[in-house]
Amino acid sequence: MTPMLTVEDLAISFATRTGRFEAVRGVSFTLGRERLGIVGESGSGKSLTGRAIMGLTPPSADVTARRLAFDGIDLLTAPPAQRRALRGARLSMVLQDPKYSLDPVMSIGRQIVETLRTHERVSRREARERALDMLAAVQIENPARVFDLYPHEVSGGMGQRAMIAMMLIANPELLIADEPTSALDVTVQLEVLGILDRLVTDRGMGLIFISHDLRLVSSFCDRVLVMYAGRVVEEIAAAELAHARHPYTRGLLACVPVPGHDRHPLPVLDRRPEWRL
Amino acid sequence: MSEAGIGSGQGTRAWLLSEYPASRMQARLGRAYATWLRFAANRLAVVGLAILIALVLVATFAGVLAPHSPYAGDLAGARLLPPLSPGHLLGTDDQGRDILSRLIYGSRLTLAVVLMVAVLTAPVGLLVGTVAGYAGGIIDTALMRVTDIFLAFPKLVLALALVAALGPGIENAVIAIAITSWPPYARMARAETLAVRHADYIDAIRLMGASPLRIVLRHVMPMCLSSLIVRVTLDMAGIILIAAGLGFLGLGAQPPAPEWGAMIASGRRFILDQWWVATMPGMAILIVSLGFNLVGDGLRDALDPREAER
Amino acid sequence: MTDAVPALSLAGVNVAYDGYRALADVSLNVAAGEAFGLVGESGSGKSTLLRAIAGLAPVTAGTLRVEGETLTGQRRGRAFHARVQMVFQDPYGSLHPRHTIDRQLLEPLAIHGVDATSPRILRALDEVGLGAGFRFRYPHQLSGGQRQRVAIARALILEPAILLLDEPTSALDASVQAEVLNLLEQVRAERGLTYVLVSHDLGVVTHMCDRLAVMHGGRIVEELPADDLVAGRIGTDYTRKLMVASAGFRRGSDGHGHADE
């Protein structure tokens, strides 16, 4: 099977007053129709990696890679128009907080319809039908009502479902979800993950799930990349997580308090300088 | 020698930019230096600062710099001489007075107006705005309605009315401008106060048992200060223009004071034949206003708290 | 419970913001030296409860007592501030952005007229694991974990008996969270502090607390020892649902279901 996405030696850096800051260094992986988790703490470069694939890095970022290809298309050399056409239609991204990623002055339904009509030639009526179907697919109980609501009129969980509906309406082949549930309450979080899980399975999408929560990611994904200081320190099958080799991965797993595991004090990470190398 | 100079220069710089300052003084100086670096990165702002420094120097050393008396003219031999005449670089006016000398002495008046207005308005606006914003309720309503009343009058018209009532003169012009200038500062300070009032760090300090006065003075005001400084600086250009406008209308500085606006007014009679009489003070006003605007813009970038967060 | 005076006692407390009832008839006792947890989802009123104790939320009915003394209205006396302090959730918002760490720690001492400030500031920094080198830095020069340590130092510098902790680690990375939780436990052990810890994370609460209350919709749904929660001796469906949800995602369950799916 040829991979859908190939990332080879991806590097992202910023010019700062004190010199060049290398936020991502030498990241390589491939992705088929599977779920890949990228885990790391703040500043690990996990979000930038996702954004670089989408072509959404800030203008000050300098992105280089030996190869960054989606379905044979070299993303770094592709003209902006082609990248725009890819975004939304074949590549899609769900961000952490729906409050900031939905347009506040446009109703939810219209945003979904607009997204669909940007990428596909469909009639207004058909677009509306499909948007309603999509809202139903993300388990919104009364799609017709939510269709006309504005983002501030819905709860966080509802907003995130609407966001997912919008991102999946054009049937992308690859979905990048950057902390899609971190702003949500635990019970809502599970519902949203359940929806995401089923849609990815049913539609055979590839998924990159970016999160700070190693346990959550490993319960959701097939494979996990653990990032630290801009590098991938370990790549591991989610089922094998208990046998992680890298001390950072193990430390990250151990330091989270879990009900029923009495450890006082909690083990803390001893960050070693050589992990950065 | 030069190497040692560079070496110690780098030492000072490192000391100022140290991530681990060892004293209150070092921390404060380091922060000031970082602000200066952001300010100096804006070339135009530095040009503006140079203009303002030049203004202060010229005003301070007017007696040394001016080649002639600003008041006594040579009515017989030197009326309305064009620029670049021998002895009169910028020419003379209708009473034979050296325009350059008058501009040099006039800078004192301009600087005095600007400083007095700033000193009178900024603290009043800051105090009214922060107290209204922090106290809320009836105090807020009362203070803001008063502010609105002053805000409702057109600035120049109210200044004109006041000067007409108090009598013309530079002091009355300053009072008139000050009374009409503080309301926007109060509004701005109130808006900033409302933004920080419910911040966790204000709640935290309330939980320490701090009195409302202490919170306003020591915790809220510093947050409003930088935008106030920027706003006042940017407003200075307009204040110079209003002062000049009052002078032009004969309601500000009185003859023979070399006030720039009044100079334009007296020069407008000959604007077609002897253009320089009105143009030279106009240029002076333009350059100084520009200086204040450039500095204000630079300060906005340098003092922006979001910038400082990084 | 015990005949000793509880450190904190709430009876029928109500809080309303513009007609919205954020807390409804909350009654609660926290014993001296106890670590008490408040768990719930957003909007459950758990943070409002802390703010009501601190005098930062409008209490419309009910009585609050701290060490037997009744608090009235939103005003709190100087003695209260010396006994009860709070650590906020967002370490980026709880420190004044324009004051050095030194000044943040000096302020409570100055308000309470404490002399010999310098050694106390140094001791406070030392206690939370920050050296004297941090003293004259500004908050923007610190990481999130370091800021939260400063916030803890500030709360401790007046030597209070009760510490209110409002999601003290939820804005931090997991590894930093572990460090801050260890610090909080260590400080409590050394000083015999009473903690009221608000968190959405059952792991954190069961790790830190002896007893906890589950809140939902402004009410306390259930109050139980942390050990019972861990062992599954749970009285209400809502608590059970929270417990299941926090165990993580399971393939095949769509989140609506329970553990038995």
Q: What is the pLDDT of residues A118-128, one digit of tens each?
A: 888 889 899 99
Residue B125 scores a pLDDT above 90:
yes
Report which of residues B124 and A140 the model is more confident about: B124
What's the confidence (pLDDT) of residue A20?
Answer: 85
Residue A111 scores a pLDDT above 80:
yes
What's the confidence (pLDDT) of residue A1?
Answer: 58
Contact assessment for residue C208 and residue C185, using Cβ atoms and an 8 Å cutoff: yes
Residue A100 scores a pLDDT above 80:
no
Residue of C181, C241, C248 with shortest CB distance to A257 = C181
What's the confidence (pLDDT) of residue B140?
Answer: 94
Residue of B21, B214, B218 with shortest CB distance to C137 = B21
Task: Quickly state the pLDDT bin for B2 (edges 50, 70, 90).
Answer: very low
Q: What percent of chain C has pLDDT over 90?
A: 57
Q: What is the pLDDT of residues A55-77, one digit of tens each?
A: 888 888 999 999 999 988 899 88
Q: What is the pLDDT of residues A239-277, one digit of tens each?
A: 888 888 999 999 988 888 888 888 888 888 888 888 877
C-beta atoms of A186 and C246 within 8 A:
yes
Is C167 a member of any domain?
yes
One domain, residues B18 and B58: no
Checking A154-157 for CB contacts under 8 A at 24+ apart, the result is: A154/A108, A155/A188, A156/A97, A156/A98, A156/A99, A156/A183, A156/A184, A156/A185, A156/A188, A156/C42, A157/A184, A157/A185, A157/A188, A157/A191, A157/A192
Contact assessment for residue A210 and residue A187, using Cβ atoms and an 8 Å cutoff: no
Least confident of A162-166, B83-87, C33-37: B83-87
Residues 6+ apart with CB under 8 A from A152: A104
Whole-angstrom distance, CA of residue A96 vs CA of residue A211: 10
One domain, residues B116 and B13: no
Least confident of A160-164, A223-227, A229-233: A160-164
Residue C254 scores a pLDDT above 50:
no
One domain, residues B121 and B27: no
Whole-angstrom distance, CA of residue A7 vs CA of residue A36: 13
Phi, psi of B137 (to 5 degrees): 60, -140
What's the confidence (pLDDT) of residue C259?
Answer: 35
Closest C-alpha to B200, from C59, C89, C177: C89
Whole-angstrom distance, CA of residue B198 vs CA of residue C51: 12
Residue A206 scores a pLDDT above 80:
yes
One domain, residues B157 and B268: yes
Identity (one letter) of the amino acid at B78?
A
Whole-angstrom distance, CA of residue C149 vs CA of residue C183: 9
Q: What percent of chain B has pLDDT over 90?
A: 36
Tokens of C179: 């460090």
> Does residue A30 sit in helix, strand or coil?
strand
Average pLDDT over residues A74-96: 87
CATH of the domain at C132: 3.40.50.300
Using a CB-CB cut-off of 8 Å, the residues of chain C touching B199 are: 93
What's the confidence (pLDDT) of residue A264?
Answer: 82
Task: Quickly state the pLDDT bin for B9 (edges 50, 70, 90).
Answer: low
CB neighbour class for C128 (10 Å; exposed up to 12, middle 13-18, buried from 19): buried
What's the confidence (pLDDT) of residue C261?
Answer: 32
Residue A177 scores a pLDDT above 70:
yes
One domain, residues B169 and B263: yes
Average pLDDT over residues C74-91: 88
One domain, residues B10 and B118: no
Using a CB-CB cut-off of 8 Å, the residues of chain B touching C82 are: 209
One domain, residues B147 and B3: no
Identity (one letter) of the amino acid at B76?
A
One-character DSSP codes across chain B: -HHHHHHHHHHHHHHHT-SS-SSHHHHHHHHHHHHHHHHHT-HHHHHHHHHHHHHHHHHHTHHHH-SS-SS---TTT-TTPPTTBTTBTT-B-TTS-BHHHHHHHHHHHHHHHHHHHHHHHHHHHHHHHHHHHHH-HHHHHHHHHHHHHHHHS-HHHHHHHHHHHH-SSHHHHHHHHHHHHHHHHHHHHHHHHHHHHTSHHHHHHHHTT--HHHIIIIIIHHHHHHHHHHHHHHHHHHHHHHHHHHHHTTSSSPTTS--HHHHHHHHGGGTTTSTHHHHHHHHHHHHHHHHHHHHHHHHHHHH-HHHHH-
Task: Quickly state the pLDDT bin for C116 (edges 50, 70, 90).
Answer: confident
C-beta atoms of A259 and C254 within 8 A:
no
Closest C-alpha to C165, from A212, B207, A3, B53: B207
Query: Which residues between 34 and 63 in chain C have a beta carbon less than 8 angstroms from any beta carbon of chain B?
Result: 54-56
Residue A141 scores a pLDDT above 90:
no
Residue B294 scores a pLDDT above 50:
yes
Tokens of C202: 């059952």
What's the confidence (pLDDT) of residue C177?
Answer: 92
Give partners of C (≥3 CB pairs < 8 A). Answer: A, B
- Which residues of C fall below an 8 Å CB-CB distance to A? 41-42, 144, 173-179, 181-182, 185-186, 200-204, 206-208, 229-230, 241-243, 245-246, 248-251, 253-256
Contact assessment for residue C60 and residue C16, using Cβ atoms and an 8 Å cutoff: yes
Task: Quickly state the pLDDT bin for A38 (edges 50, 70, 90).
Answer: very high
Contact assessment for residue A115 and residue A102, using Cβ atoms and an 8 Å cutoff: no
> What's CA A89's distance to the chain center, in Å?
16
Using a CB-CB cut-off of 8 Å, the residues of chain B touching C137 are: 19-21, 27
C-beta atoms of A259 and C230 within 8 A:
yes
One domain, residues B224 and B304: yes
Residue C248 scores a pLDDT above 80:
no
Mutation target vs C (from B23, B197, B208; most C CBs, 10 A cutoff): B208
Average pLDDT over residues B112-134: 93
Using a CB-CB cut-off of 8 Å, the residues of chain C touching B205 are: 96, 107
One domain, residues B55 and B30: no
Is C208 a member of any domain?
yes
Tokens of A44: 């690990």
One domain, residues B224 and B132: yes
Task: Quickly state the pLDDT bin for A140 (edges 50, 70, 90).
Answer: confident
Mutation target vs C (from B33, B200, B224; most C CBs, 10 A cutoff): B200
Task: Quickly state the pLDDT bin for B8 (edges 50, 70, 90).
Answer: low
Using a CB-CB cut-off of 8 Å, the residues of chain C touching A193 are: 249, 255
Whole-angstrom distance, CA of residue B259 vs CA of residue C15: 63
Using a CB-CB cut-off of 8 Å, the residues of chain C touching A156 are: 42
Residue of B21, B27, B204 with shortest CB distance to C88 = B204
Domain total of chain B: 2
Average pLDDT over residues B250-267: 85
Report the DSSP beta bridge partners of residue A68.
Answer: A7
Residue B308 scores a pLDDT above 90:
no
Closest C-alpha to A227, from A96, A67, A49, A58: A49
| DSSP structure class, residue C6 | P
Whole-angstrom distance, CA of residue B106 vs CA of residue B260: 6
Which uninterrupted H or E stretch holds C53? helix C46-54
Residue B307 scores a pLDDT above 70:
no
Give the residue numbers spanning the domain of B164.
47-309
C-beta atoms of C136 and B218 within 8 A:
no
What's the confidence (pLDDT) of residue A68?
Answer: 92
Residue B5 scores a pLDDT above 70:
no
Phi, psi of C53 (to 5 degrees): -60, -40
Average pLDDT over residues B211-238: 90
One domain, residues B36 and B124: no
Identity (one letter) of the amino acid at A220?
F
Report the DSSP beta bridge partners of residue C211.
Answer: C36, C225
Closest C-alpha to C65, from C9, C2, C15: C9
Mutation target vs B (from C18, C53, C107; most B CBs, 10 A cutoff): C107
User: What is the residue-averaged pLDDT of chain A?
Assistant: 87
One domain, residues B112 and B212: yes
Q: What is the pLDDT of residues B143-202, one digit of tens each?
A: 999 999 988 888 778 888 888 888 888 888 888 888 888 999 999 999 999 999 989 999
Exposure b/e, C77-99, CB count within 10 A at least 16 = b:
eeebbbbbbbbbbbbbbbbbbbb
What's the confidence (pLDDT) of residue C252?
Answer: 57
Is C195 a member of any domain?
yes
Domain total of chain C: 1
CATH of the domain at B160: 1.10.3720.10
Give the residue numbers spanning the domain of C229.
8-246
CB atoms within 10 A of CB C174: 22
Is C242 a member of any domain?
yes
